[in-house]
Amino acid sequence: MLELIDVHTYYGNIQALKGISIHVEPGEVVTLIGSNGAGKTTTLRTIQGLLRPRQGKILFEGQDLSSSSSPEIVRLGIAQSPEGRMIFPRMTVLENLEMGAFHRQDKAGIQADMERVFTLFPRLQERIKQKGGTLSGGEQQMLAIARALMARPRLLLLDEPSMGLAPMLVNQIFSIIHEISDQGTTILLVEQNARMALTVANRGYVLQTGEIVLTGSAKELQVNETVRKAYLGEE
């Protein structure tokens, strides 16, 4: 479904991605784990067309994304819940969700997706008229994911959905990620919380200073010594 081939991304002269190759198959949950500054967000922003690779290629369902704008990439079927949520604080929950569907004309489909997200996140329906900025951190995270789902993506990119949330909410967010996957959406999940990410993912990649240093099934990574020491906090 998605293939990154030797992708190099820079911020000016700073090279953030040093030739990464990853792939995501239809129906999978794939996680990208790594510590601060490893290049996880840069990878998602490059897929979404917000950053351009200086070298390498990104293919989505066989199509080269290098000349597609970010809104075009959303239309092709990739949507993102960004790091730090980035919801619109002065807009209501409903308006935030409508923004997620800004490129769509199919009113009936939008309505159906609105109902789908309210089933996944009943809390958002209760808060439908409330301004985004007045929601709790957990609710804002739910709104960011729900807004991405309103684009009806076939591939959902999630950047640190558990960041800053209390353990109970982290569990809740991960069970919703599981449910979204069961409903047929393919997911690329970026996390510092490797333990949780590996419980929901089929496969994973470990990113370290802009390079993929390890890949395997979630089960393999869970028992890998390097992963256990560096990312699962074990001795």
Region of 84 please: left (phi>0), alpha (psi -120 to 50) or beta: left
Distance (Å) of CA 183 to CA 120, 152, 229: 11, 12, 34
Determine which residue in the list 41, 46, 80, 141 makes contact with Mg ion, applying CB under 5 A: 41
CA dist 21 and 113 (Å) reads 33
User: Are the beta carbons of 207 and 32 closer than 8 angstroms?
Assistant: yes
Size of site (CB under 5 A) for Mg ion: 3
Partner interacting with residue 34 (select from Mg ion, ligand ATP, none; CB below 5-8 Å by kind): ligand ATP
Task: Between 38 and 97, name the residue whose CB sits nearer to ligand ATP.
Answer: 38
Determine which residue in the list 19, 59, 70, 83 makes contact with Mg ion, applying CB under 5 A: 83
CA dist 105 and 100 (Å) reads 12
Q: Is the dihedral of CA 121, 126, 130, 133 positive or negative?
A: negative
* In the complex, least distance from residue 228 CB atom to ligand ATP, rounded to whole angstroms: 19
If DSSP codes are grouped into helix, strand and coil, which group holds residue 93?
Answer: helix
201: its two tokens: 């993912």
- Binding span for Mg ion by CB under 5 A among 24-32, 33-41, 180-188, 194-202: 33-41
CA dist 93 and 89 (Å) reads 9
* In the complex, least distance from residue 235 CB atom to Mg ion, rounded to whole angstroms: 27
CA dist 133 and 194 (Å) reads 28
Task: Between 16 and 101, name the residue whose CB sits nearer to ligand ATP.
Answer: 16
* In the complex, least distance from residue 64 CB atom to Mg ion, rounded to whole angstroms: 25
Task: Between 34 and 132, name the residue whose CB sits nearer to ligand ATP.
Answer: 34
* In the complex, least distance from residue 93 CB atom to ligand ATP, rounded to whole angstroms: 26
Q: Which residue is nearest to Mg ion (CB)?
A: 41
Partner interacting with residue 11 (select from Mg ion, ligand ATP, none; CB below 5-8 Å by kind): ligand ATP
* Interface with ligand ATP (CB under 6 A): 11, 14, 16, 34, 36-42, 83, 192
CA dist 112 and 143 (Å) reads 17
* In the complex, least distance from residue 168 CB atom to ligand ATP, rounded to whole angstroms: 23
Task: Between 117 and 173, name the residue whose CB sits nearer to ligand ATP.
Answer: 173
Task: Between 37 and 122, name the residue whose CB sits nearer to ligand ATP.
Answer: 37
115: its two tokens: 């109902």
- 9 - beta bridge partners? 17
- The residues of the shown chain that bind Mg ion, judged by CB under 5 A, are 40-41, 83
